[in-house]
Structure 1
Amino acid sequence: MDLYIYNKALALQNVMDTYGSLRWVRRYTECGEFELHCPFTVDNIRLLAQDNIIRKKDSDEVGFIEYRNVKRDETDRENLIVKGKLGEGYLNRRIVWGREILNTTYELALRTLVDKNCINPTDTTRIINTLILGDIGNFTGNINFQVSYQNLLKVVEALCLEAELGNRIRFDKTLKKLKFEIFQGLDRTSSQTVNPQCIFSKEFDNILDQEYTDSIMDYRNVALVGGIGEDADRRLLTVGSGTGLERFEAFNDQKGISNMVDNVEMAEAEYSALLSSKGNETLAETKKVQTFENGVNLNSNLRYKVDFDLGDIVTCMSKKWGITIDSRINEIEEVYEESGKEVNIVFGKEMPRTIAQKIKLL
């Protein structure tokens, strides 16, 4: 896999076709990452400079270099290890400067936050010159949201998790710009007929092994959100429902959310909507975990980036165990080595990464 190396102004520096290994991790709601191992040479250390940009020949996704390390291996050869984030990681260099109150769709809220803090900020020193907004997808789903002085990437990731939307930054080779986009995976489950179905099952001979996990260890379905005020005067709002042992509670402290805008007090319903959005964030992060872990045979009927891709919702089933679940592809790890290409998939945004469902494509 050839690697195109650009400087931070997106001017092509060279093409790299010889390296030890490349690990390229794509994520749906969170920022991806990469790690490149190659021989240490003067040319390589110059080419792979900090903030230079890497693009794979077969993709318009990019990553930028943040970390370099030179070390000797067991054969006394010097190797260069390069790490960095995928394009969305540029948002990690910005905060939400000031207070934003957004009552709109999730997609427009996300685009507004990126535009005001990276593309058209009041302070021109904050502009990222290579970044533009991509095409709008007109995705449904509304939010009433308030945020101030938080890391922009973390805010974007939290909103995407809640809305079940993906975010990415892709290289537009014609415009020589990086495009920030919101996208949504396809529904490829067995219960729909709009898109080609994608079903992982041992009975279909497209998986090699299978493991099932069902967990409520971190589950919460009721969030008590605390807003402004103290003690008996504190504004409290409950989001979610449950009774008896089916009720799992959490507290979200949002005392910093003000009910004043330009010295004018918000209507009660408007402030309650802001608190409600924070409760929904909590519940989005603490869902039940129900996953399959499968080893997938790519010599079967399922083709990567054709029959399934990042963000798609697919069906995993075991007739023997009597289990069928629909789960989103939340992470895809591509590994390129001298021995060939390997792809590993993580299913399910609900899963804590410690017990995330991993699928190895062989």
Structure 2
Amino acid sequence: MVEIISALTASGHKSICVYDIRLNLLGRIESWVSLVWPERYNVYSDTQGAQLELHDTTALQALCRPDRYLWLVGSDRLMRIVSAQKSDHKLVIAAKDAACILDERGHTDTLSNFAAEETLRSLVSSAAAWPCLELGDAAGLTDTYSGEVKPGSLLKLVEQVCQELDIGFRVRFDQPKAKLLFELFRPKLDPNARYAPQYGNLTDLTYTESITGYKNVCVVVGAEGTATVGAAENTGSARRELIVDATSKKKEGGQSQADYLAALRAQGEQELAKHTRLENFRFTPTGSITVGMVVEASLPGTDIQAAARITSVTLSSQKGENSVSTEIGTPIIRRKQ
């Protein structure tokens, strides 16, 4: 699998190339009023794509037409223009990641219990041809998707599977070969990549721990029985009890006592899930980062560590000034041994 260092965090001048639907180079844009360029891990639909604001000229109007691609030179992504609007002597371009090509194709079968990578690659390969779109190298992922997907958009299907299995996907731009390559990927934690405030590559550390509303035992009192769920063996200060009044709940016709108690336990599990201990550790990685990589951080002065996957990296560029923002997934928190 080819990994290209993110052009979003690279220093130096940035420029944009414009390609037609068959990836023929049409022109180059060297300056703009503003640019927002997001690169994502596995969510593309219903999200903001790229936005490019230009000083309006006849030449740029002719160049930046819907169904053409924008390429931030050095990036591994293309953005497909979906709209161009002239307003107040400005040309405002909206574009979506090339992965949204998959939203132009659908699948008609209900699928369940399948090998994720093999099946997704097969579905993309068998979809009606899209210019220059091919399969990239397989990532060798062995995950099985045990859920069910209904007929619909191919993009929605891939998003559903990849989000539930924590797999990334992209339509990567192979600029030398003029191809769009559908690929799955899942980077692992690099133990040699160290992120901390003192290294200047980690900011905005916040840690939250709360027991407000926390309960770990739920006793459901029904009209014809009582059920207890959770850490019932806990005693003393370790036991945090929640009592649920279900005395209005009686046996239904023909319902056995065992089934009745099972229904009470199910209600207790649902209630207990609303009263968990809250713990969250958030941080913003900076520096040389790529979408999908896993970043580990330590909370200074504590034994708390957290690892989180970078789910998006966004370049914002205005008047020659560039800034990069990141989003991370739900951190996995642990304490040093």
* Cα RMSD, aligned residues only: 3.0
Deviation at 1:344, TM superposition (A): 0.4
The within-5 A match list for 1:242-321 is: 244=269, 247-248=272-273, 290-294=280-284, 303-304=287-288, 308-320=289-301
Residue in structure 2 matched with residue 91 of structure 1 by the alignment? 102
* Matched-pair contact (CA < 8 Å) for 2:32–2:53: yes
Deviation at 1:214, TM superposition (A): 6.0
Change beyond 3 A, Cα 1:174–1:205: closer
| Counterpart code for 1:211 | T
TM-score, normalization: structure 2?
0.69
Deviation at 1:186, TM superposition (A): 2.8
**Separation in structure 2 between the aligned mates of residue 248 and residue 16 of structure 1, nearest angstrom:** 53
Asked which structure has the greater CA Rg, the reply is 2
**Structure 1, unaligned stretches of length 5 or more?**
73-77, 118-125, 189-194, 218-231, 233-240, 250-287, 352-362
The within-5 A match list for 1:176-195 is: 176-188=178-190, 195=191
Change beyond 3 A, Cα 1:34–1:141: same
Aligned identity (percent) is 24
| Counterpart code for 1:57 | V
Given candidates 142, 154, 168, the residue that maps to 1:166 is 168
**Separation in structure 2 between the aligned mates of residue 293 and residue 28 of structure 1, nearest angstrom:** 18
TM-score, normalization: structure 1?
0.64
- 1:348 paired with 2:329, answer yes
Residue in structure 1 matched with residue 43 of structure 2 by the alignment? 30
Deviation at 1:153, TM superposition (A): 0.9
**Separation in structure 2 between the aligned mates of residue 111 and residue 132 of structure 1, nearest angstrom:** 10
**Separation in structure 2 between the aligned mates of residue 86 and residue 313 of structure 1, nearest angstrom:** 22
Residue in structure 2 matched with residue 67 of structure 1 by the alignment? 83
**Separation in structure 2 between the aligned mates of residue 140 and residue 40 of structure 1, nearest angstrom:** 50
Shifted more, 138-147 versus 203-212: the winner is: 203-212
Residue in structure 2 matched with residue 54 of structure 1 by the alignment? 70
| Counterpart code for 1:290 | N
| Counterpart code for 1:196 | N
Change beyond 3 A, Cα 1:323–1:140: same
**Separation in structure 2 between the aligned mates of residue 209 and residue 12 of structure 1, nearest angstrom:** 41
Change beyond 3 A, Cα 1:82–1:291: farther
**Separation in structure 1 between the aligned mates of residue 293 and residue 166 of structure 2, nearest angstrom:** 11
**Separation in structure 2 between the aligned mates of residue 128 and residue 151 of structure 1, nearest angstrom:** 15
* Matched-pair contact (CA < 8 Å) for 2:82–2:94: yes
**Separation in structure 2 between the aligned mates of residue 157 and residue 164 of structure 1, nearest angstrom:** 10
**Separation in structure 2 between the aligned mates of residue 8 and residue 292 of structure 1, nearest angstrom:** 40
* Matched-pair contact (CA < 8 Å) for 1:331–1:345: yes
Deviation at 1:47, TM superposition (A): 0.4
Change beyond 3 A, Cα 1:214–1:165: farther
**Structure 2, unaligned stretches of length 5 or more?**
1-13, 213-253, 255-265, 333-337
CA distances 1:274-330 after superposition (whole Å, capped 9, x unpaired): xxxxxxxxxxxxxx8834144x6x6xxxx31xxx32111111222246532111111
- 1:142 paired with 2:123, answer no
**Separation in structure 2 between the aligned mates of residue 175 and residue 204 of structure 1, nearest angstrom:** 38
* Matched-pair contact (CA < 8 Å) for 2:207–2:279: no
- 1:10 paired with 2:23, answer yes
Count of aligned positions:
261
CA distances 1:209-261 after superposition (whole Å, capped 9, x unpaired): 433356999xxxxxxxxxxxxxx9xxxxxxxx997578439xxxxxxxxxxxx
**Separation in structure 2 between the aligned mates of residue 148 and residue 133 of structure 1, nearest angstrom:** 23
> What secondary structure sits across from 1:157 in the alignment?
helix
Residue in structure 2 matched with residue 197 of structure 1 by the alignment? 193
Ranges of 4+ aligned residues in structure 1 off by more than 4 Å: 213-217, 241-247
**Separation in structure 2 between the aligned mates of residue 95 and residue 216 of structure 1, nearest angstrom:** 46
* Matched-pair contact (CA < 8 Å) for 2:54–2:91: yes
